């Protein structure tokens, strides 16, 4: 036999102390519970209500999550709220991402570290002003006739497959399992979309199968009778969403009373108490007065209503992730500041201080100083050089070459989720001069080139679908189509690209070559500059669908803002990260937020611009752009038009 291992003999008192500690920790986990009581929640058996705030993990660099949680808790909040965004986690079928800014389990852990509970809104549809409401674009390729947000078997198959992956990741973080998650939402605002209780109950069963019964499920809808009736499911708490009179039309007393009719035993919850509103290109920056927000917040607190400030920490629609408003088509801005108490760039505001003062009268505030704004970097002007237009760098943008088809194909069928596709046709027929070129269905903006010279543009947003054009046999017609974002609330089967025949004087153009353009998206697995830098300065400057680039150095990386005035519309890329869309002439956003963690200290930083129209360049092929320390997200916009009037009359549809 081998030698027996010798263990030190523990003092009996130490042994029993350690044993008591072990059992006390087991007891903490065993006795953790969060349930629905009479007119209140019960947390570990005790009456509980909360004031919460939303911070979307994919809209805030993961390096800043902890700062956000600290500031939210310092404001007196007891919980944080976020959606789970399917479209970013599964950008192509079966390819799942949970790293970096998509690592929501790390988000849960940091929230718990800062003594914040978590309200989780796991979809599958989330709205949230993102492309297709957070549903993956490729659903439209798998089955073009699929009925989204329904009991359509194809749709439910992919939802179930997604939940089989994501719900097991969530389960360990439920409150009953020792984690911070106290409630989980089923779908989102379904009552404004449909009225299929069977569909809602099917989703509920998917949640229960994995998460079990030790979690409070809830639904959330506009706090009006029809929405609450159609958006509910059996066995889930009915909650509403409503803001102040500026946003929702009535004060909160009206909505609380209506919600109480549907949930007389309570608890009453406003799951989206709006601190501001979303913004679309070309419409004024939306705000809610602080005094109005505080007055209505006090009413909720005095009525014992739990509520969630939406949004509490602003964020950014990086990449191509912004959706669009329905009705008149209006793309959502890159900034998702939302007039929030904590800005897109993480600074507390006057609204933050007022909320903190109010909540401090109802909940104990944690110790520590009042959070202050962080320093910003004013790095000044940088000089960009013209690289070439889309035709000069087409091989780099589409290395696999074109797809050929008799008729144009959609983004979805070409496996292009976002961004741009170049449609090419060599003219073989003789037409009048000028001729009428029409595309009855194009989503969303199309730029026309004849032999690589720009000749016009049509835009779905203003219902412009034809142009006058001169075409000769042998000439090449290129149509560069931009996907400006799919509908963020009514994700019907609305694919992107050229979706009809292209006609010239009523005659179809056939035999198309289509080039999906691979620009840096978000989030990218590896952040690196594109290959267009390799051919810089080889081409003569031409406006339209062109690239510009520069390298610059900084000593200290701070948050900063890229000022885009003078440029027309396009996308900016920093060190291979897509900062999002700019469109300063439309407004209200003029600057793009650049998180300091996207910058490199004492190393070359690569800035690339893809400008769709005209850049402010000199004859020397150079342009100037400036990094400033003050954002402009509430700039001037064009004169009010029909889309603005519609938006003001029916704000909830946006």
User: Active-site residues: which are they?
Assistant: 189, 272
* Most distant CA atoms of the chain, gap in Å: 102
C-alpha to C-alpha distance for 255 and 560, rounded to whole angstroms: 40
List all residues 6 or more positions away from 68 whose beta carbon is below 8 Å from its beta carbon.
55, 60, 313, 342, 346
Q: Is 231 exposed, middle or buried (0-12, 13-18, 19+ CB in 10 A)?
A: buried
Q: How many CA atoms lie within 13 A of 464 on its CB side?
A: 11
Q: Which two tokens stand for residue 93?
A: 């079928």
Q: What strands lie across the sheet with 605-611, from one edge to the other?
A: 577-582, 570-574, 605-611, 546-552, 380-389, 622-628, 560-563, 591-594
Q: Parallel, antiparallel, or unpaired: how do β-strands 560-563 and 591-594 relate?
A: antiparallel
List all residues 6 or more positions away from 540 whose beta carbon is below 8 Å from its beta carbon.
621
CB 271 within 8 A of CB 308: yes
CB 622 within 8 A of CB 386: yes
Positive/negative CA dihedral, 311, 140, 521, 612:
negative
C-alpha to C-alpha distance for 634 and 587, rounded to whole angstroms: 8
Q: Which two tokens stand for residue 374?
A: 């962080």
Task: Tell me if residue 223 falls in helix, strand or coil.
Answer: coil
Angle of the 153-170 helix axis to the 197-211 helix axis, nearest 10? 30
- The residue written with tokens 């000069």 in the block is 392
């Amino acid at each position: 036999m081998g030698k027996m291992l010798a263990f030190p003999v523990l003092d009996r008192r130490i042994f029993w102390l350690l044993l008591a500690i072990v059992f006390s920790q087991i007891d903490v986990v065993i006795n953790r519970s969060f349930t629905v009581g009479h007119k209140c929640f019960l947390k570990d058996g005790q009456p509980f209500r909360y004031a919460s705030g939303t911070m979307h993990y994919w809209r805030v660099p993961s390096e800043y999550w902890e700062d956000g949680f600290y500031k939210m808790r310092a404001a007196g909040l007891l919980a944080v709220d976020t959606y789970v965004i399917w479209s970013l986690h599964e950008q192509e079928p079966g390819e799942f991402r949970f790293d970096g800014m998509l690592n929501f389990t790390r988000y849960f852990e940091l929230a718990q570290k800062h003594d914040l509970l978590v309200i989780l809104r796991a979809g599958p549809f989330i709205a949230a002003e993102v492309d297709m409401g957070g549903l993956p674009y490729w659903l439209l390729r798998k089955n073009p006739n699929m009925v989204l947000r329904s009991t359509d078997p194809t749709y439910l198959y992919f939802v179930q497959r997604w939940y089989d992956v994501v719900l097991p990741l969530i389960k360990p973080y439920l409150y009953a399992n020792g984690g911070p998650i106290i409630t989980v939402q089923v779908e989102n605002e379904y009552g404004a979309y449909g009225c299929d209780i069977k569909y809602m109950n099917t989703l509920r069963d998917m949640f229960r199968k994995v998460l079990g019964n030790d979690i409070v499920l809830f639904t959330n809808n506009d706090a009006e009778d029809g929405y609450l009736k159609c958006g509910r499911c059996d066995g889930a708490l009915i909650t509403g969403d409503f803001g102040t009179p500026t946003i929702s039309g009535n004060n909160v007393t009206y909505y609380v009373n209506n919600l109480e009719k549907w949930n007389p035993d309570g608890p009453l919850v406003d799951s989206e108490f709006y601190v501001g509103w979303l913004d679309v290109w070309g419409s004024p920056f939306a705000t809610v007065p602080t005094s109005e927000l505080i007055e209505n917040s006090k009413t909720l607190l005095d009525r014992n209503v739990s509520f969630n400030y939406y949004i509490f920490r602003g964020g950014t629609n990086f990449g191509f992730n912004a959706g669009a408003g329905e009705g008149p088509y209006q793309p959502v801005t890159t900034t998702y500041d939302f007039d929030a108490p904590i800005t897109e760039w993480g600074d507390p505001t006057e609204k933050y201080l007022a909320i903190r003062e109010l909540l401090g009268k109802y909940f104990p505030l944690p110790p520590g100083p009042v959070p202050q704004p962080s320093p910003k970097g004013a790095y000044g002007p940088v000089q960009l050089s013209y690289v070439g237009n889309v035709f000069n760098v087409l091989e780099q943008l589409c290395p696999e070459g074109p797809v050929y088809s008799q008729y144009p194909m959609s983004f979805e069928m070409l496996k292009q989720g976002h961004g741009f596709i170049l449609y090419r046709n060599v003219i073989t027929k003789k037409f009048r001069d000028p001729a009428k070129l029409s595309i009855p269905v194009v989503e969303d903006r199309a730029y026309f080139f004849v032999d690589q010279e720009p000749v016009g543009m049509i835009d779905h947003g203003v219902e412009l679908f034809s142009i006058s054009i001169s075409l000769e046999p042998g000439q090449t017609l290129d149509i560069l189509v931009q996907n400006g974002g799919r509908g963020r609330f009514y994700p019907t089967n609305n694919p992107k690209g050229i979706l009809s025949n292209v006609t010239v004087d009523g005659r179809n153009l056939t035999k198309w070559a289509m080039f999906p353009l691979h620009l840096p998206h978000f989030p990218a697995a590896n952040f690196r500059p594109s290959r267009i830098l390799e051919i810089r300065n080889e081409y003569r400057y031409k406006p339209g669908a062109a690239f510009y680039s520069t390298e610059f150095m900084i000593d200290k990386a701070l948050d900063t803002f890229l000022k885009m005035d003078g440029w027309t519309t396009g996308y900016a890329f920093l060190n291979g990260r897509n900062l999002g869309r700019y469109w300063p002439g439309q407004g209200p956003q003029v600057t793009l937020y650049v998180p300091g963690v996207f910058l490199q200290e004492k190393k070359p930083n690569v800035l690339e611009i893809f400008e769709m129209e005209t850049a402010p360049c000199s004859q020397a092929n150079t342009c100037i752009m400036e990094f400033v320390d003050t954002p402009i997200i509430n700039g001037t916009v064009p004169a009010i038009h029909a889309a603005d009037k519609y938006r003001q009359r029916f704000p909830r549809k946006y």
